[in-house]
């Protein structure tokens, strides 16, 4: 069955309200399009939990910095709709930027502490853009459940905090990272990588495995672990490190010693492409 395509904010709000009145539960997957198997796994989780599924496709301009890749960001709306049809998605919401951000728009949501480090330090204002657009999407789509990938761990944490702080009536579900056969986390930006760069990009997953082995063998000194991981990543051609951090998985504060389950979070440029990856380092 063809999904219903909605482009108007007002129409989406009216449709969502009608679905709720009919007793449906709405599962929502917000995306920027150029869908891959990671996105489709989020759709599957939404379908498992709800009677109707809405997927948004919107490349949000407010979460890109002035020197970032908004215009270059890959887009394939026709291909996306075919993939969503195969997953029996009910509604695809594809708003225009002018409808989402009309003239005079001036409201911003800022989740302050959780966005100070990691990608928030490297991309000032990024998470303000993310939190604001997700808040707007929640108000438009009116979901019971919203599904996000754990690959964007900081984003998931920020959205979860926003929902708690603002008493939003939506359940946030995090889904484990979906990986390629070689371990590379699925990302729309993987399409930027040349073959040689793709080989170097595997260093991120290699660093995750390396860190897990070190922790399993009893290493607890964060500075030592990070030094070893950075050396490993930089031993691959085309790599340039933005950050490699080990932080508390709840408040994202940097750790000096591993005393419990911790989050390894990384952002690495491979060529001109910025990739992120992360993993919870578990202590038995």
- Give me the DSSP letters along 138-197: HHHH--SEEEEEGGGHHHHHHHHHHHHHTT-S-EEEEEPPPB-TTSPBP-GGGGG--HHH
For 58-91, write each residue's pLDDT tens digit.
Answer: 999 999 998 888 999 999 999 999 999 999 999 9
Please report the pLDDT score of residue 69 as a whole number: 86
Please report the pLDDT score of residue 212 as a whole number: 97
Using DSSP bridges, classify how beta strands 52-57 and 91-93 pair: parallel, antiparallel or unpaired. parallel
Please report the pLDDT score of residue 52 as a whole number: 98
Please report the pLDDT score of residue 228 as a whole number: 98
Q: What is the mean pLDDT of residues 182-204?
A: 96
Selecting among 24, 36, 39, 236, the annotated active-site residue is: 39
194 is an active site residue: no
Q: Are 72 and 105 in contact (CB under 8 A)?
A: no
Residue 111 half-sphere exposure toward CB, CA atoms < 13 A: 28
Give me the percent of the chain exceeding a pLDDT of 70: 100
For 19-59, write each residue's pLDDT tens digit.
Answer: 999 999 999 999 999 999 999 999 999 999 999 999 999 99
Please report the pLDDT score of residue 284 as a whole number: 76
Output b/e per residue, 227-265; b: 16+ Cβ within 10 A.
ebbbebbeebebbeebbbbbbebeebeebeebeeebbbb
Please report the pLDDT score of residue 1 as a whole number: 82
For 149-166, write each residue's pLDDT tens digit.
Answer: 999 999 999 999 999 999
pLDDT of 230 higher than 90:
yes
User: CB-based burial of residue 52 (10 Å sphere; 0-12 exposed, 13-18 middle, 19+ buried)?
Assistant: buried
CA angle 29-30-36, nearest 5°? 75
Give me the percent of the chain exceeding a pLDDT of 90: 98
């Amino acid at each position: 069955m063809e999904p219903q395509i909605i482009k108007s904010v007002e129409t989406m709000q009216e449709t969502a309200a009608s679905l709720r009145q009919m007793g449906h539960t709405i599962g929502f997957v917000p995306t920027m399009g150029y869908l891959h198997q990671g996105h489709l796994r989020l759709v599957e989780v939404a379908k498992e939990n709800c009677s109707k599924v809405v997927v948004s496709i919107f490349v949000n301009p407010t979460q890109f910095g002035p020197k970032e890749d908004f215009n270059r960001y890959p887009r394939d709306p026709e291909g996306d709709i075919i993939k969503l049809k195969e997953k029996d998605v009910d509604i695809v919401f594809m708003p225009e930027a002018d409808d989402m951000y009309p003239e005079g728009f001036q409201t911003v949501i800022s989740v302050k502490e959780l966005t100070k480090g990691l990608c928030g330090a490297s991309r000032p204002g990024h998470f303000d853009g993310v939190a604001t657009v997700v808040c707007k999407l929640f108000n438009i789509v009116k979901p019971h459940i919203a599904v996000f990938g754990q690959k964007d761990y900081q984003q998931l944490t920020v959205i979860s905090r926003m929902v708690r702080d603002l008493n939003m009536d939506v359940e946030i579900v995090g889904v484990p990272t979906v990986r390629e056969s070689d371990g590379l986390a699925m990302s729309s930006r993987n399409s930027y990588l040349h073959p040689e760069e793709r080989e170097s990009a595997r260093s991120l997953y290699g660093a995750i495995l390396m860190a897990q082995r070190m922790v399993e063998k009893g290493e607890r000194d964060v500075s030592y672990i990070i030094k070893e991981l950075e050396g490993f990543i930089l031993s691959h051609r085309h790599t340039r490190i933005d950050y490699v951090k080990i932080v508390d998985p709840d408040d994202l504060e940097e750790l000096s010693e591993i005393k419990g389950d911790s989050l390894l979070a990384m952002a690495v440029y491979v060529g001109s492409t910025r990739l992120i990856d992360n993993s919870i380092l578990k202590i038995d």
